[in-house]
Structure 1
Amino acid sequence: MMQTPTVTPSIHQLPQAMEPRNPGIELDLDWVRRAQANTSAIERRAKTLPGRRSVKKDYQAAWLCRAISCIDLTTLSGDDTEGRVRRLCAKAHQPVRVDLLAALGMEGLTTGAVCVYHDMVPTAVEALAGTGIPVAAVSTGFPAGLSPFHLRVAEIKESVEAGASEIDIVVTRRHVLQGNWQALYDEMKTFREACGDAHVKAILATGELGTLRNVARASLVCMMAGADFIKTSTGKESVNATLPVSLVMIRAIRDYYERTGFRVGYKPAGGISKAKDAVTYLALMKDELGNRWLQPDLFRFGASSLLGDIERQLEHHVTGAYSASYRHAIG
C-alpha cells in the first residue's frame, strides 16, 4: 500500500526551485540513436498500472491533495477573457472549499501554477500577486509551433517580460519525424536561452510523433538542450497524454538523471480529467522515479477539469456523499 504523502504549502514555488536547473549537455547523437522503445512491453506495463495501485480512505484523500498541488490550472480557449482568467486564478489560490480543506487539515493548499496564453499573462500575474503561485505562458506559436522562428523567440521574451515565470514551448515536430536531432537540439537550446530565469517546459506533442521510439529520442534531445520539464501534449492534438507515452518519457528522465545527475520534471497534459487517473499517474511517478518526483517542482498535470472531479471526491471523503459538480466552482 502506498503511504500517505504530505503536502507542504511552502513547496508551491517555481519548478526546480529545490533543485539545480538542468543546464543541458552537448548533443550526444550516439546516446540518442541507441534509445529504443519496446512497444508491446511498454503497452503491457501501462495496461497493468491502474489495477496495481489501490488507495482508499485517508490514503486516497492525501494522494488527491498531492495531485492538486501539482496541477497547472489551465485555460487556453479562443474566448478567454480577463474575467475568466481572474476566476481561474482565484480557484488556483483556493482550489477546494474552505470547509473541506479545514476538515482535511490542508489549509493553504494551492495548485502548482496557472497556465494561460501570452495575452492573459499580465491579468494572471496581477490576480496571483502575493500568492506565490507562478504564471505559465504557452509560447512559440502554440499549439502548432509553425510561426516564423524569430517570432517564436520574441514571443518567449515578451511573455517573460510580462511576468511569466514558466514558459511552455512547442517543438517543431518535423525535426523529430525527419530524425533531424541537431535541428531540434539547436531550437530547444535557443528557446531555453530566450527564457532566461523563467523555467521552460518542452511540449513534444507526442500524439504527432509517430512512434514511441521518436518520443524517447525527442525527450533525450530536449533534456540535453536544457529543458527543465518535458511535457506530453498541447492538449489540442487528437491523442494527448497516455500511460505508454508517459512511461517512455519518464524512463528517459531517469536515464538522463542517472547519467548527468540533473533532475528534469515531467508534465502529462490533455485528457486527464478524473481523480482516479491522477492517482494512477502519481503511482507511475513513484514506481519509476521515486518520491522526489512527487513534488510540484518536478511533476505537473496540465488540466482544466481535473480539479473539479478531485474536489467532488474529497467532499465524498469528508461527508460520505457525492455532490453535484455545480457546487464546486471551476473558474
Structure 2
Amino acid sequence: MNDTAQKITVEKAQTSKIDQVDFDNLSFGSVFTDHMLVCDYKNGAWETPKIIPYQPITLEPSSKIFHYGQSIFEGMKAYKDAAGDTWLFRPFDNHKRFNISAKRMSIPEIPEEYFIEGLKTLLRLEKDWIPQSEGSSLYIRPFMFASGKGFHASPADEYKFMICLAPSGAYFSGKVKVLIEQTYSRSANGGVGYAKAGGNYAGQFYPTQLAVKKGYNQVIWTDDNTHEYIEEAGAMNIFVRIKDTLITGPTSDRILDGITRKSIIEIAKDEGIPVEVRKITVTEVVDAAKNGSLKEMFGAGTAAVVSPIAAFGYNDTDYDLPELPNSYARRMKERIIDIQYNKAEDIFGWRHKV
C-alpha cells in the first residue's frame, strides 16, 4: 500500500444496504453501494481523499455548478473473475481523459494517485457489491464539479471530486434502430465535444427525444457544419463495416477519445481485420447500404461495450443491416469482455488488478 492509500480516511457505514439488492435484476446505474469517495479542492490545493457512507451532499444555491456548468465525469467498470479477484480495464486511460476534460473546463486536474488509489481503496471496501453473473459488473462513476460560490461568470475557487459505484446488469439487450441527424449537432469545432462534460449530454437529450418519437432508439450524430459526416452514435463512438473493412472517424474537438474505441482498433489490427480511421460520409454509408456492401454498424462505449445497430434512417427511408453469424461486433465484444473478466490472456496490458 502506497503513501496516498495509507492517508485516505475511511468512515464505514453503520449498516449495509446490500441485503436489500436483487443482484439478478439490476437496471443500469440505479442502485448504489454503501460508500463513496469525496475529495475537495480548496485554497488552491486538493485535500486528501476520504471515503464516507453514501449520502446526499449539501451545496449552496450560489455554487457555480448550478450556474455555469463546470462538471465532468468518467465511466468505468470493475469486474470480478471466477477466483473472486477484482479487475479494472485501462484505468490509467480514464484518469488521463478525466484530466483532459478538467483542463478544457478550467477545473483543476486531479492527481493520478488520488484517482487510482482512491478508487482501489473504495473497491476493496465494496468488493462484495461486484456482481459475478454474466454481463454484470460494478459501474464506476468518477465526477468533478464546481462547488465554489458566486454569480460572477468565472471559474470557481472550490471543487469537489467524487466516485460513486453502482452494481449493474447488462446495459443493452438487442439491437438498436438509429436516425442519422440532419439538423442538430452534438458539438462543434473548438468546442468541448472531446471532453466528458455534463452539458454535452444534456444537449443530446432533446434531439434524441425527437428521434424516439419517430420510432428510433438513438441518434447518429453528424458534423456541425455540413451534416455530411457520421461522427458518433448517441453517447458512443461509432464503427462502420463496409465489405471486410472496419471504419471509424478520427478523434477531434467534436469526438470523444473513447477507450473502448481505442481497444477495438487495436484488437481488430491484432486479428488482421482491415481498419481505417478516417472521415465517413453519410452518402458513403447510404450507398453501401443500397449496394449490399454495408455489413455492420455498431456503437462502442464503456456501458454497453458494443451495441449493434440493426437499422438506420435517413431522408425518410430506413435501411436494414444484415444479420451476420460471425460479426465483427460480436467478436470485438467477446474479446474485450474476456480480457475484462480475466478469462483470456491480456496481450495489450489493459487489465489492472485491484
Q: Same fold (TM over 0.5)?
A: no
TM-score for both structures, normalised by structure 2:
0.23
Greater relative contact order (CA < 8 Å, ≥ 6 in sequence): 1
Select the structure that is richer in helix.
Answer: 1
Select the structure that is richer in strand.
Answer: 2
